[in-house]
Every structure is written in structure tokens, then in C-alpha cells.
Amino acid sequence: MLGLAKRGWVAVGCWFLFLGVAAAGADELVLNNGDVLHGQVVSIEGGNCNFNSAILGQLQISLEQITTIATDANMPVRLADEQEAINVWISPAEDGVCLDDGVSECVVPLSSVAHAGPPALVPWEELDADPWVWSGNAELGFRARRGNSERASLETNARLGTRNSVWALSGHFRSYYAEQEVDGRDEPTDDELRGGVRTERILFDGLSAYLALDLERDRIEDLRLRSTWDGGFCYLVWDSDTVSWKLCGGLGQEDERYYDGRSESSCIGTLQSYFTWQIVKRVEFTQQTEWLSNLATTADYRINAETAAVVHLDDAEHFFIKIGLRHEYDNAPAADVERLDSYFFSSIGASF
């Protein structure tokens, strides 16, 4: 009776041992020599399979020694000619392995599996696979303005940006200044500062999302600070070797503070158009238009437009001359301020 009880406990123990081995051995490797290993595929990386055998423990086996693999659960797999991993079940196939994502199946050679399992750490030498490229320019010139002031003024303009295959970041700064002698004193006829930052991310081919912040101060128009932020989407309508045209639209907030103590705040909608045409080598035509409207009243809007020709002075396009015309229209300006400012400008600049 005691012997029977012992044999019963041994049978139970063997049963639980079998369950433990089966649970730990849900994945299967078939080697070229015909051996079959049960355990867990931890990862595939660098041409090797890291395998946790139920009996032999941790193993690292070259893919060249493996005929096929079967997994009990899905896992991230990235092929050598793909950028992203997909979650698939791996099962044996005559010419390698079968990858099944639950919707479709494909058979691939085992050697084409670049990585499987948890994401691997990126080697230091691969961190620059998508590097940031910097660019920028600086301009110095004059403009002849007609509107709230009719004097020539000094103009400075600078831009700095960086981008990779997905993101683009940029910042810009512009200033105008001019003086006129009145009753023996030098009085400013132009005193304006503008600046801002913008970030843009490509979502997929032709479509991107952006977020921008712009600041402006204009003493001549009694504007102490105008801050405008907006975000939305851009669509690349045309992109070729000679022509580029992008449209953007978004929503945002605008706050205005004046030197007399007044302040205004409004929700705005924006539309922007950016067009560039390379007419011939070293000569470009550019046109930019921006429309900003107060969403609470259609009578309160602004339109800024710039049309220019850019002539590059060298083959590397490091130096250039820019000549153009700008229009700035405010349909609801401050008191004693004209709605339209139009001016011709010319500048010389350098870029990198």
C-alpha cells in the first residue's frame, strides 16, 4: 500500500514536471542535424538566436545552424529590408519560416530576419543614422515704405533651422528702423521687431503637422506686443526639382497689448501659402502669403504677402541678393493707423 502511494506521488511529480517543461518549452527550434530543442525564443539579433532551453538553459545558436523555428506566441520581427518591426507568429516552412500577423502570411528565409524580440539597444555608431542638418541665413538691406510711414528704413533679417527626415525646427528674427529729424530732434519713423519659432513633423508623404509662435512689437503703430501661436497641418501640393508649393492651415490664439493700456485677445484661424520656383540656375522666384482672421468676427483679419526674386552670387549659393515687394494689410487697425503698408525692399545676404 505504501509502495502504491509512493508510485502515485512520483506520477504526480512527473506530471507537474512535464507541465513545467511544456510551459517553458512552448517554442521549438529544429537544427540542421535534426535535433529539436524546446524552450523560449528570447531574441534574434546579429545573426544569432538567443534561446532559453527547458533543459540546457541559455543558449546562443547561429541562424546558419537552424533549419526552422516555431513560436507559441507572437513577437516583434523586423526583416533586413524593412525599417519597422511587426508582431507575428513564427511557424516552420519548407524554405525558411512563415510569418503570420493574423491577417496575412509570408514565407521568408531565416537569414532575412534581422531582429526579433524586444527592441535592441541602438549601437553608438548608428545614432547618427538620421542626423540633424543645420541651415540658416542673414540679410541686411533697405526698404522704401508707403503707408503709416513713407521713409526708407534699415532692415535686418536672420533665420536658423535644423531638420532630419521627420522633424523640422526653425527660428527667425527681423527688425526695421529709421529716423527723421523733426524740430531739431531725431524721431523714429520705423521701429519694429519680429521673431518666432516653428516646429513641423512629417506625418506621411506630403502631409505634416506644425506648431508656431510669433512675436511682434511696432512702436509706430502703438503695438507693445502681439503674440500669436497656432497649430495645424501642411500639405505639399507640388514638389519637383524646380517648383515647390506648400499650403498650411490651422487654429490658434492671438493676444495684443498696446502702449495706451489697451489689450485684446482672440481665437484665430490661419492660412499660409509658400511657393518657390527656380527659374534658371542661381535665380529663384518666391511668393509667401499669410491670412489671419479673428474667428469671432470676419471683419477683423490681416493679410501679409511677400513676392521676391533671389539671385545667388556663387555656385554654392552661400551669398545672394534679394529684391521684392511686401504688403501688410490690417482690416481693423488701431486708431490713426492706416490699413495697408506697402514697400519695396532689397537686401544682400549669406546662407549656410
48 torsion bin: left (phi>0), alpha (psi -120 to 50), beta (else): beta
55, 20 contact by CB (below 8 A): no
Band of pLDDT at residue 270, cut at 50, 70 and 90: very high
* pLDDT at residue number 176: 86
Q: What is the pLDDT of residues 70-99, one digit of tens each?
A: 998 888 998 988 877 888 889 998 888 999
Window from 13-17, 238-242, 252-256, 266-270 with minimum mean pLDDT:
13-17
Nearest alpha-carbon partner for 145 in 153, 137, 135: 153
Q: What CA–CA distances, in Å, run from 128 to 54, 162, 199?
A: 40, 14, 21
105 in Cβ contact with 99 (< 8 Å)? yes
* Residue with grid cell 542661381, as numbered in its chain: 282
Residue 287 has pLDDT above 60, yes or no: yes
Mean per-residue pLDDT, 141-169: 83
CATH class of 133-351: mainly beta
Instruction: Please check whether residue 229 is in contact with residue 196, taking contact to mean a CB–CB distance below 8 angstroms.
Output: no
Decide if pLDDT at 126 tops 70.
Answer: no
Task: Tell me if residue 57 falls in helix, strand or coil.
Answer: strand
- 289 vs 29: which has the higher pLDDT: 289
Pair 39, 24: CB distance under 8 Å? yes
Q: Where in the chain is the domain with CATH 2.40.160.40?
A: 133-351
pLDDT at 130 over 90: no
Tell me: pLDDT of 276 over 90.
yes
| For residue 4, pLDDT beyond 90 | no
CA 161 to CA 166: how far, in whole Å? 14
* pLDDT for 19: 42
CA dist 179 and 106 (Å) reads 74
Q: Which amino acid is at 100?
A: D
Q: Is the pLDDT of residue 33 over 70?
A: yes
C-alpha cell at 290: 499669410
Position 21 confidence tier, pLDDT thresholds 50, 70, 90: very low
Region of 16 on the Ramachandran plot (φ > 0 left; ψ -120 to 50 alpha; else beta): alpha
- CB distance 260 to 244 below 8 Å: no
Cα 92 → chain centroid: 40
Question: CA-based Rg of the chain, rounded to a whole angstrom?
Answer: 33
Q: What 3-state class would DSSP assign to 84? A: coil
DSSP code of 208?
E
Q: What does the pLDDT read at residue 241?
A: 86
Torsion of CA 272, 284, 133, 214, to 10 degrees: -30
Q: Which residue has the higher pLDDT, 298 or 88?
A: 88
Distance from C-alpha of 136 to C-alpha of 160, rounded to nearest angstrom: 4
**pLDDT tens digit sequence for 194-210:** 999 999 999 988 899 99
CB 102 within 8 A of CB 90: no
- Write down the pTM of the prediction: 0.61
In whole angstroms, what separates CA 32 from the centre of its chain? 46
Asked if 346 contacts 322 with a C-beta cutoff of 8 angstroms, the reply is yes
Whether the per-residue pLDDT at 10 is higher than 50: the answer is no
Tell me which residue has cell 507568429: 89
**Does 36 score more than 70 pLDDT?**
yes
Confidence of residue 267 (pLDDT cuts 50, 70, 90): very high
Cα 324 from Cα 308, distance rounded (Å) = 4
